[in-house]
Amino acid sequence: MKLREIFGVKETPLNGKEAEPVQEDSGRQENSIRGFELAVKLRFTEESQVGRAALLLSCTTDKKSEEELKALLGEEGWKSVATEVGGVASELPQKITRALVGAALNAGVVDKKPREMHALMHAALEAINGFVSLGTLEASIGAKLAIVRNRNWIAVSMVGDTAYHAVAHHERCGLGVMHI
């Protein structure tokens, strides 16, 4: 059973493009769609579920989806921001720190108060540790970072790709949640 069948996704071309025939390993040809959209409905029942919201935000793939999700979170009184970072894994902690702190302060997700900055940095550390393993020091990395915060909790999520070589790139994610 295919993913499209499991989730009931219609096989329609994205952006008005026609499906292209693709030769599979088995030798048979099949029409392949370059991508698909998947509508997901989630219920947030606890303030501590900021991690789910951050993961969703860091998984958005276009500006419209990102803005819509941030608006929905804002309607609930939650603050959020997303940014991107890239480079070599060994340089990433410094780049992520600058990107996260800058984005969080500029968007008003956190104030320059010790407990809020402390919670942000601890959540970021958890996310970085989940995203980058010690063996990836020279890997190229590109990631979308999201910060979601409500009254008592803050979450940092990272979703992106890592590669030692372009042929072998794959996705990774990391999440950190901290009480403020």
Does one domain contain both 9 and 91?
no
Per-residue pLDDT of the chain (180 residues), as tens digits, is 454 554 455 555 555 555 555 555 555 555 555 677 777 777 888 888 999 999 999 999 999 999 999 999 999 999 999 999 998 888 877 888 899 999 999 999 999 999 999 999 999 999 988 888 766 667 888 999 999 999 999 999 999 998 887 777 889 999 999 999
Tokens of 31: 């029409």
Which residues, listed in sequence order, are joined to residue 99 by a DSSP beta bridge? none
Does one domain contain both 13 and 85?
no
Report how many domains make up the chain. 2
The answer to whether position 38 is within a domain reads no
Does one domain contain both 53 and 98?
yes
DSSP string, 59-121: H--SHHHHHHHHHHHHHTT-EEEEEEEEEEGGGHHHHHHHHHHHHHHHTTSS-S-HHHHHHHH
Q: What is the pTM for the complete model shown?
A: 0.79
Cβ-proximal residues to 17 (8 Å cutoff; 6+ apart), any chain: 34
Q: What is the CATH number of the domain that holds 162?
A: 3.40.1510.10
Does one domain contain both 62 and 133?
yes
Domain with 15, as residue range(s), is 3-32
Does one domain contain both 22 and 56?
no
The answer to whether position 101 is within a domain reads yes
Does one domain contain both 57 and 25?
no
Q: Which amino acid is at 58?
A: S
Does one domain contain both 18 and 66?
no
The answer to whether position 43 is within a domain reads no
pLDDT at 52: 94
pLDDT at 137: 67
Does one domain contain both 61 and 111?
yes
The answer to whether position 8 is within a domain reads yes
The answer to whether position 151 is within a domain reads yes
Does one domain contain both 27 and 104?
no
The answer to whether position 42 is within a domain reads no
Does one domain contain both 79 and 154?
yes
Does one domain contain both 71 and 142?
yes
